[in-house]
Structure 1
Amino acid sequence: MTEKQTYYVSISGKRVEPEPSINDQLTVTATQAEISELQQLLDQIQRDDEKTQFRAPIPYKSADNDKATDKFNEDIIKVYEAVYALGTAETRDHIRQMNILNKLHDSDYDYPGYER
């Protein structure tokens, strides 16, 4: 069994660090494999973000029906789901207060890390 360690996740910085820094970070406890998976999700939102930035300066193009924006939104939710599942009690409380994970409100959702 692989030992879990404490890591600090900066979603805006799209990175996981072994030591806390001055940036806003969420604390998780995870194995190295779990952190690798989380970093892959963060890398994906970085790629999504790069795609959406090309549309941003076009004033007549709405983001309402933009596939790149939809993909970014879906992937950022995946990141928050992963951080919630690995997060400390304080991290989970913070994410609950953000009210961005609808799955936390669905009592029929039965996955580890999500409350009933």
Structure 2
Amino acid sequence: MEKQLFYVNLNPISMDTINPTRVDDGQLIEYEIEATPAEKKALEDLLHEVQSHDLELGNLFTFRHFDDSKIDDDRNEYQRGLNDVYEELYRLGTAETKEKIREIHMINDDQ
């Protein structure tokens, strides 16, 4: 399969949307990737999973937020998911994307 260019942003509201064109918004950080349809779908699924978990963390209508160990577990799980997203963005990313990710120290350069 031939790879195509796509643009990914990690805005919590539209995190699981991968666009074939850039969004014209100077406030938005977009990551340019090259992906096959299967790779795009896998990344969309990962983004959706992380975004869904982020929404769970924001649920203030439960008593889970009083349990510090649960909160720490939830935050750690969300961070692991976000780390997986950055690793996948780095793997699929263009040279510019890889540089952006290295600049924010979201990838282990020893890999």
For Structure 1 versus Structure 2, the TM-score category normalised by the shorter chain is 0.7 to 0.9
- Displacement, 1:24? 2.3
C-alpha distance in 2 between matches for 1:97 and 1:51: 29
Structure 1 unaligned spans of 5+: 110-116
The equivalent residue for 2:103 is 97
C-alpha distance in 2 between matches for 1:27 and 1:52: 28
Query: Does residue 78 of the first structure (1) align with residue 84 of the second (2)?
Result: yes
The equivalent residue for 2:20 is 18
**1:23-42 to 2 correspondences below 5 Å:** 23-42=28-47
**Normalising by the residue count of structure 1, what TM-score does the alignment of the two structures yield?**
0.78
C-alpha distance in 2 between matches for 1:91 and 1:76: 16
- Displacement, 1:34? 0.4
C-alpha distance in 1 between matches for 2:42 and 2:52: 16
RMSD between aligned residues: 2.3
- Displacement, 1:72? 0.6
Give the AA of the match of 2:21.
E
Give the AA of the match of 1:81.
E
- Displacement, 1:69? 1.1
C-alpha distance in 2 between matches for 1:96 and 1:10: 16
Percent sequence identity is: 28
C-alpha distance in 2 between matches for 1:35 and 1:45: 15
Question: Highest relative contact order (Cα 8 Å, sep 6+), 1 or 2?
Answer: 2
C-alpha distance in 2 between matches for 1:50 and 1:99: 25
Following TM superposition, the consecutive aligned residue runs of length 4 or more in structure 1 with deviations greater than 3 angstroms are: 58-65
Give the AA of the match of 1:75.
G
**Normalising by the residue count of structure 2, what TM-score does the alignment of the two structures yield?**
0.81
C-alpha distance in 2 between matches for 1:7 and 1:65: 34
Cα pair distance change 1:34/1:6, threshold 3 Å? same
